[in-house]
Structure 1
């Protein structure tokens, strides 16, 4: 054991315990959901406000809206998490790249609450998991702090100004400047809010840090570092820790598997923090892995003169991680190829407002594809994402920044970097370092400093900060400038990440054979679900029409490539740890190739090529782009799988018998014309049949990842592929020419949902012919109604060119599919019936049930 003392002023209001727990006798610590019953007001929109480029910083000066006597009765009543931008309206004249939604502006949130008189003498904190952005907080008219970075989690201390036994008002002002993001950031208090109450002596914010420095099959050493925060008088405290195994739901499974009884009392001087470490041993540890995400919880109990004053629970996992320059990434000593995707933080039709079930659904779909890793692009994630990754078994690269001191947009994070980068980086790592899923800290993405002579020094400083907070995980960064591998940046991080550089893997490894290498961002293939354009070309700049991109999966921006090229790069260079594909899901904003995003010019080392690209991007700024969302996703914005899903599934789940044919087979205008057919399969050869006639059997050659029949002449009927593996029948797929749309089919991802006001059911509508076969090119308009204790909170169809409100109860199907999202009402159990109707197709119903706890 050792002890260190820190004055409490060291981190201001960055002092929050990391978890919720209750002693048996009394709630010595309370962490109360503080999401309900807020009042919201967004200041009037100023014409052309988004063109001014005014960051509009909000300071701590007294504001009428912050005063307790201010009349907010006319303000809108709502619950957070809340994203005002997703409510729209969509407007064509909004900037091209950020979703066509009004996410910028200034807004206020106010909440009235009463504290019981028994809270006198306790510390009271407000914890905000994320607010976009430039937040300032008042309690009872007194300014108590704030935080500019919209992706950070932070706390303010309400204690000096709250009134136990009386009425209180907390006010939050957000100032979300225009031109501050390259993608859709959302606006508002978009993550969860908590009211935390503790004794004066308590475990500090993020005040437990669990590490496992020695792990064998027989035992694991578990070190629990505890930081105590004394906001009261001098005290002498004792600290004890018990470790319990958790089941898949996060519940304890039996008695403690290890414990450390309190030693002699520790002196905790008033106004200081005390840090101590306890070492425990767990026999026969259950290791956390992606295949078996087994976890433990460390329960830390603090007593003062025999009285329990704090109890904190810290979930963690026992596992070992390592990046090796020759073997890639090792989890528990065994290579785990990183089959990863990059994910932005928005949840499609739900916007940026966090919802655990929506996140869980995304991960379930990605897991089906074979994904085992997530890169949080390009910012600290919601805490709930890491909780889910721990429980479901995903490894995570947690990323801190997209910008350092040099800007990408006029009002982005470069305005805050000098003052806030250390606070933001430390806050992210301290919050997230107990998650077994986190395997690396990314200090930046495609930062402009890559081209600066001494830019590597910034990277080195950020890595130094990260290692000071957590020496158990490596640092990394995502570099898109080829020169970053040779100009000093490669030595500033522990694991080097290349974006879109499979052709550089061998050269980099020869130059720096001691540095582990990762495909930190790959492919960036673009496609629209269910859209196919002819003729089919291997020129990746082709395949575009009507502001859509062909789903033959051969199209990509100039800096990127189809998936096949990245696959070859990794197969030729097996020392590469794996890849993070851009992106798992489509996201709001950045509708490449129909946008004016110029940040990737660093990918072009040839000056003439860079100039031509700059001119092309400049011309796009003059185009009114009818696109709201990206085309990069392997899954579309509504959560429907694109063809590419099966190309990655074939590679990442080779043990799964699967075959997927494309395109669909409804082409009446193409009778007699060449219509290429591609097959994605985990088999090694396949035979193609059209109306029972063989069109040939093909075997996949070395470094081939799809089977192609490029000379198929279209005839309506049945197209069938039979795949083989090692000469044996393995899997098959069939596509048929369908009849006309005749009916609707409804299917819910879950029919039983919790009556907690947050749980969701995602209901898919399929336009089908009379035989129940999906009609691929149909776009019938579907109307939704719901009966029972729930609400339709959003609809979508995955069409990146659709500007219809996500809150609309009507939606055109896009290539045969549409989506309705149903949410329960808190405390209201019962039956729900969702009905979909379409002219000429009748109606269809799906039964749901909202159940109590």
Structure 2
């Protein structure tokens, strides 16, 4: 890859030459100063920690042949054939050492040049040798780093590059104990998972030792309709033995190849030194970067021009002219105007590849998120690569950048962060800023995520000292000072988990939000704690505590399993750390959250969690293993869950309709509600060709047809939306088995119905009042639920859950006589007590006392005949104890 190979580039060079002539400087001439060779093919790899592998003549023929990007890890799979290709047989969760070796030729004309090996990432610690010479080590798995290979490079012929990587889980005394992240709810893949290059330059060049950055620091200090101003600092290295008289030329070139602004700064450069050259660009009538509406980019061209007019080095990078600000009342301001940021959190792994993804993969992700309507991405919980930043620039997507300080910052019972860990955190922050500060999209430097657990930290993150005794503020204050020194033009932020949540008196939570400029709240009301409707009032409370600090919601959401479904999202408690994570409940959380967020325009941004399912070995949940199921799109980055379409209906103006619960094909009840996400002017629903009515102006673009009676057999649903340009349709097909059409089998207290031999149960539905409960011990992180044995039934799973308190059922059966079987399950620890069951004024069971076994749990059934008119009523009335029922069977009598 050489400079000035494209016709457009040659045209720009001609413009540069003309400008230099007009300035009275010897013109720059065509050059061959910087050459970049991508080192992607021909690598050898072994997962064994071998000896003597650094020797150039080491025999590596038996090692695996791989290409880079590469990772040996494959983590996370579904227990079905939707959404991914990983299986239990193909996963590789090994943490440890891997070796890479590559033979490559010295570039032609290398004599007198400087050579750098550039790694876009190596996880998580890398040591590098060239031709047997040790070049150095990099500690941190997410940032670009370069090593000077000039002295070790052969003047011609074959070179042998050797890299040892190590992604060992950090523990006290381990090889990675001082390398962030120490913990986290995501898997740290190993390998050379981003590109590797050889960069060759002239001795006089733009600095390649600037913490992996470009050596150019550009800041837009003004961006208005009539004028924009950019302040620049260019680091120029003179690796020659003599002083050099040179000039630094910086220019902004528009899409048509015209130079919009330029500056030429003469400089005398001492031998063996690196100097900083300052410049300013003033652009008249600039074309501003306006987010997704108009993400206009100039080319920022920086040249080092020697005294004879030759260009000894050049760096060309896209650059957007814009200003960003954050206001506690007005939210986010782009170029001085309010601009609502609505987006997603994003992890970089995907099914079948782990972290070794391509630019095309990232481009597909960006296109998917723009299709949903997102205009911002929170890059979590570590530094992401240049591809996503480049593509965000081009798409107009505003980016939150973050370092991997996640939850834990001490090991082995230490109460203070190790000095080496503090140094590593500051180094990773420095690399994050230097490598991304010229991106128009980059808006925020995040210095931490969820370091405010205090002594409530989840068990899977243990490894540090007692949270009550570990204070995160000293480390956060150090990082705040570092970030402001590196780039005072951008605000800092951090994401909190726990402040102002309802904990017990024994829980101590530090207030960390004050350590950064901006606040960010990760809050999972209705999932891990509280109720869905608690989110808005909670945010109001946080704002009241710090009215001058801009606030965002940095995470909210719920798990959603592709193969799990519910008939009523309120039917029972969600299993946030276990199996019961129906797709419909994920949508419910997002629907309730978005309404509360939209009502608070002072939030500078909202980032839902998460864009895509991702790998994490602390979870066994939903229908997946080692996958966090909160993504709106599955691990394959293609299969879209219902919640994705909810946001698309609300965030993307392009006409769309989407029938929800499509994957719930085998229906449990003959009567159901049908929900359609639609942003069209009106939407009609048809069932087997029959119109069920037209709806318009549906709240939150969610249209619901209630009490739809399905046909026995196949049910073809069509949603037809009418918009200004015509119509758009979506379809689904549900099946109602003949036996199911005749029965209502209600699994009381269950969000997701249990499996039953030979028949389909429905989840709890048509109830009013009461509370859901279970005889089983719930799941926890990576630990399955513990079932309770129940005698007297073949439907243990259904009878383990129950509804309790005073409550009623109004089941929409057709008029007629019905056999109703009420099932009750009790355990030996239950206290005796009676309750009544009625149907309207008719008493069905008086002062009923379910059987209490001497040990364990037992089930019993009561069979009742009821005549129903206008539906079937069942009223459970507490007496000396709360009423309860575990399962209700309703069968029509002839």
Q: Same fold (TM over 0.5)?
A: yes
How far is the alpha carbon of 1:131 from its aligned partner?
Answer: 1.0
Q: 1:580 aligns with which of 592, 599, 607?
A: 607
| Contact 1:540-1:554 at 8 Å conserved across structures | no
1:325-474 alignment, distance < 5 Å: 325-403=328-406, 406=409, 417-448=421-452, 454-474=471-491
How far is the alpha carbon of 1:102 from its aligned partner?
Answer: 2.6
| Contact 2:343-2:608 at 8 Å conserved across structures | yes
With over 3 angstroms needed to count, the CA separation of the structure-2 counterparts of 1:308 and 1:532, relative to structure 1, is: closer
Q: Give the equivalent residue in structure 1 for 2:222.
A: 214
With over 3 angstroms needed to count, the CA separation of the structure-2 counterparts of 1:245 and 1:522, relative to structure 1, is: farther
1:566-577 alignment, distance < 5 Å: 566-577=593-604
With over 3 angstroms needed to count, the CA separation of the structure-2 counterparts of 1:320 and 1:695, relative to structure 1, is: same
Based on CA coordinates, which of the two structures has the bigger radius of gyration? 2
Question: Aligned equivalents of 1:406 and 1:437: distance in 2?
Answer: 29
| Contact 1:533-1:543 at 8 Å conserved across structures | no
| Contact 1:344-1:377 at 8 Å conserved across structures | yes
Q: Give the equivalent residue in structure 2 for 1:641.
A: 640
Q: Give the equivalent residue in structure 1 for 2:514.
A: 491
Question: For 1:197, what is the secondary structure of its paired residue?
Answer: strand
RMSD of Structure 2 on Structure 1 (CA):
3.9
With over 3 angstroms needed to count, the CA separation of the structure-2 counterparts of 1:690 and 1:407, relative to structure 1, is: farther
How far is the alpha carbon of 1:426 from its aligned partner?
Answer: 0.4
Q: CA offsets, 1:181-203, max 9 Å, x none?
A: 53233221000111111222221
Q: Give the equivalent residue in structure 2 for 1:140.
A: 131
How far is the alpha carbon of 1:536 from its aligned partner?
Answer: 2.1
Question: For 1:348, what is the secondary structure of its paired residue?
Answer: coil
How far is the alpha carbon of 1:373 from its aligned partner?
Answer: 1.0
Q: 1:713 aligns with which of 709, 716, 739?
A: 709
Q: Does 1:83 align with 2:57?
A: no
Q: Give the equivalent residue in structure 1 for 2:260.
A: 257
| Contact 2:108-2:156 at 8 Å conserved across structures | yes
With over 3 angstroms needed to count, the CA separation of the structure-2 counterparts of 1:101 and 1:293, relative to structure 1, is: same
1:784-803 alignment, distance < 5 Å: none
Q: Does 1:310 align with 2:328?
A: no
With over 3 angstroms needed to count, the CA separation of the structure-2 counterparts of 1:345 and 1:477, relative to structure 1, is: same
How far is the alpha carbon of 1:686 from its aligned partner?
Answer: 5.2
| Contact 1:347-1:359 at 8 Å conserved across structures | no
| Contact 1:260-1:280 at 8 Å conserved across structures | yes
Question: Aligned equivalents of 2:412 and 2:677: distance in 1?
Answer: 40
| Contact 1:686-1:698 at 8 Å conserved across structures | yes
Question: For 1:287, what is the secondary structure of its paired residue?
Answer: coil
With over 3 angstroms needed to count, the CA separation of the structure-2 counterparts of 1:127 and 1:410, relative to structure 1, is: farther
Q: CA offsets, 1:337-387, max 9 Å, x none?
A: 111111111132222113011111111111111011111110100111111
With over 3 angstroms needed to count, the CA separation of the structure-2 counterparts of 1:656 and 1:311, relative to structure 1, is: closer
Q: Give the equivalent residue in structure 2 for 1:681.
A: 678
| Contact 1:99-1:183 at 8 Å conserved across structures | no
Q: Give the equivalent residue in structure 1 for 2:231.
A: 223
Question: Aligned equivalents of 1:459 and 1:330: distance in 2?
Answer: 26
Question: Aligned equivalents of 1:685 and 1:367: distance in 2?
Answer: 24
How far is the alpha carbon of 1:33 from its aligned partner?
Answer: 0.9
Question: Aligned equivalents of 1:659 and 1:449: distance in 2?
Answer: 41
| Contact 1:117-1:164 at 8 Å conserved across structures | no
Question: Aligned equivalents of 2:62 and 2:726: distance in 1?
Answer: 68
Flag structure 1 segments of 5+ consecutive residues without an equivalent: 1-16, 45-57, 248-252, 556-560, 596-624, 741-853
| Contact 1:589-1:629 at 8 Å conserved across structures | yes
How far is the alpha carbon of 1:97 from its aligned partner?
Answer: 13
Q: Give the equivalent residue in structure 1 for 2:243.
A: 235
How far is the alpha carbon of 1:489 from its aligned partner?
Answer: 2.4
How far is the alpha carbon of 1:517 from its aligned partner?
Answer: 0.8
TM-score, with structure 1 as normaliser: 0.70
Question: For 1:119, what is the secondary structure of its paired residue?
Answer: coil
Q: CA offsets, 1:435-467, max 9 Å, x none?
A: 101111111111257666742332232122112
Q: Give the equivalent residue in structure 2 for 1:552.
A: 584
Q: Does 1:284 align with 2:301?
A: no
Q: CA offsets, 1:559-609, max 9 Å, x none?
A: xx81123213213322012311111111223585629xxxxxxxxxxxxxx
Question: Aligned equivalents of 2:102 and 2:413: distance in 1?
Answer: 33
How far is the alpha carbon of 1:121 from its aligned partner?
Answer: 2.6
Flag structure 2 segments of 5+ consecutive residues without an equivalent: 14-27, 81-86, 171-181, 455-466, 502-507, 524-534, 738-894
Range moving further from structure 2, 641-650 or 302-311:
302-311
Question: Aligned equivalents of 2:396 and 2:498: distance in 1?
Answer: 32
Question: Aligned equivalents of 1:668 and 1:308: distance in 2?
Answer: 69
With over 3 angstroms needed to count, the CA separation of the structure-2 counterparts of 1:298 and 1:656, relative to structure 1, is: closer
Question: For 2:549, what is the secondary structure of its paired residue?
Answer: coil
Q: Give the equivalent residue in structure 1 for 2:199.
A: 196
| Contact 1:82-1:353 at 8 Å conserved across structures | yes
Range moving further from structure 2, 72-81 or 449-458:
449-458
How far is the alpha carbon of 1:664 from its aligned partner?
Answer: 2.9
Q: Give the equivalent residue in structure 1 for 2:661.
A: 663
| Contact 1:230-1:268 at 8 Å conserved across structures | yes
With over 3 angstroms needed to count, the CA separation of the structure-2 counterparts of 1:540 and 1:435, relative to structure 1, is: farther
